[in-house]
Chain A
Amino acid sequence: MANKRVDDATGVETVGHEWDGIEELNNPLPRWWLWSFYACIAFAVGYCVVYPAIPGLHKASAGTFGWSSRGALAAEMTAADAGRAQVRAAIAATPVEALANDPKLLRAAIEGGRAAFKVNCVQCHGAGAAGAKGYPNLNDDDWLWGGDIATIHQTLQHGVRQPGDDATRMSQMPAFGRDGILTAAQVQDVVSHVRVISGQEKASGSSQRGAKIFAENCAVCHGANGEGSRAVGAPRLSDAIWLYGGDRQALTETVTNARYGVMPAWGTRLDPVTVKMLATYVHSLGGGEAAPAAAPAPAASAPAAAQ
């Protein structure tokens, strides 16, 4: 280190190295800085021992803490489940009609239903539960089987046309055209009548003929004025909502071949708490009806067109 000297411009000592006239000033670090560097190394060594760190052929070393990201996720999921356990137990213990009495429980049930809906129901009913052709819109005030929470729960529990479920929702409209009960012309007359009572057409000769056919063949389920019947799941035909479409072509198809929508019985697929939460959620979408007592007044009918 013979070249060590004090630099004139800065008054700082050089370290004594020199490369083609370039020298290095010696501005020494404080000693404690070095110790903090050693402390970091010691920490890193300890970290590599307790956490997975050292790569192997197939996987890294396990670390003495046994930590893994999958394990951390599992622990968080378990903690979340444990956190929800109390609410789920309360929902399990409460009849579905009584959930509304406890605003906090109702809120939890609706949010739980919202989550379960996105997994199990959106495939047919859509993300916003607005339905599609053949799949009812759950936001509206029109229900095939009834819109109070107990009825919705019943429908969810047993499904629609679920084979092997005695309590499943089952309506059986004949295929009037296909089975030869009505001729093609008579089908057109019935369609005319239905379009008149739903306010889509003006009365005509065809619709007057159709009214007679309707009274003989259809009124037993759909009612004399097409008001429908929730008892048998016959949709109301005098309203603005059509499950399969209210135009002539769609109605012709419906009367000719009938429609047989299906929904799984969720009672055998999901746990009882989730089914309750789904019922609560569907009821909260804006079309939910108050209580069975209120149900008889406005007849329900639904989109499900003919069955």
Chain B
Amino acid sequence: MPARNRKQWMTDPQLPRGDWVDSRVYSDPEIYEEELEKIFKKVWIPLCHESELPEPYDFRTATIAHEPVIMTRGPDNAVRAFLNVCPHRGMMIERRPSGSFLEGQPSGNPKRMTCMFHAWQFDMKGNCVYISREKEGYQDRICKEGQGLRRLRCEVGMGGFVWVCLDDQPEHSLEEWAGKPFECIREAIDTEPLEVFHYHKAIIGTNYKLWHDTNSEFYHDYMHYHNRVTGFNDEYFARKNIAFDHGHVNVSSFEVKYEEYEGFESREELSFPKFPPNQWYMVDLFPGMNFNLRGSAFRCDIVTPLGPNEVMIEFRGLGVKSDTPEQRRTRIDHHNSIWGPFGRNLHEDLIGVAGQGTAMRPGTEPRRILHGRHEDNYIHDEVGMRHYYDEWGKWVNRLPSDPTQAYKSPAAAAAE
């Protein structure tokens, strides 16, 4: 059928309900706030990597949902996380992205976090260690022993990432949550300490899930010239999507033949510990984190939703801490050629999702977004998205193909 009139356009496709989602899941402001409350404040979020705060008294700041978070490394070398909020009058304690508390701040002393406003100080474990003129103003009614910081669940793992959960009683430990999807690359990233060598960010006018969808499917390789000329062969199609509990997905390995692409040398030599060279694995974690280990380059991207139609994506590239300068340089070059901000693919992926965001602004009509490719879970199958939105539907109790309805499983929906 050629072009369609409104009635034809708005008719639901003759597909099972899990094979499409309603565009309002990407554009509705109420759904966005629900996602922050019901998902982002409940799950493990990888905020940074341990190499970004390597020494005792180092810190790193970030946010989850609307809340500012600070991570500190104590003199005992442990990493802890807190709300980056002073218990006095709610000021953000530390404004810089990273640094060290070894030197005192202008209003405070070495080895302590100081809220510049009234010089209240906290140690790396979140104890309040100083309230200026405490007795004079508070007598015995408020004392520093009762004014510690709000501490948050924090674990370092899966290749040295620092994971924080705003829920004191997360439903799953980090290992239960992410252990299985990471299994395929666990040895490669846990054997030796890693180090971040690349960081940049993008703020794009689109929903965070649209970015994650692009990480969840490879059908969009059609937009990348070099993928088309080098990759669409038998080996390419021999990759499969594997679904895990909690909405996570893996894409399994195949051997990448870089030398077929003009301008690249083979990457066979350099890899990660215990990881065969030229292997490739991708880990997509619900609700929006991607870890991608491809031969010599390990990258990840993490979303921070800013609005129904706005997302910050942080891009990192990692190597092994003990890399020689030559090895590190090789990793950096390989990383940049594809995923650098001036490299091949990333620019195109971002154009794609930005274009989706443009066409799905709050207030646009509800449209059907097709996730209907079925190819026995092979590489162009869209099972990654179907699996994600089925999980999503349970968290927010909405049916992805009609978010005005309560969640029902695909089987229950089919039965109707």
Are A and B interaction partners? no
Binding site for A on B (CB under 8 A): none
Binding site for B on A (CB under 8 A): none
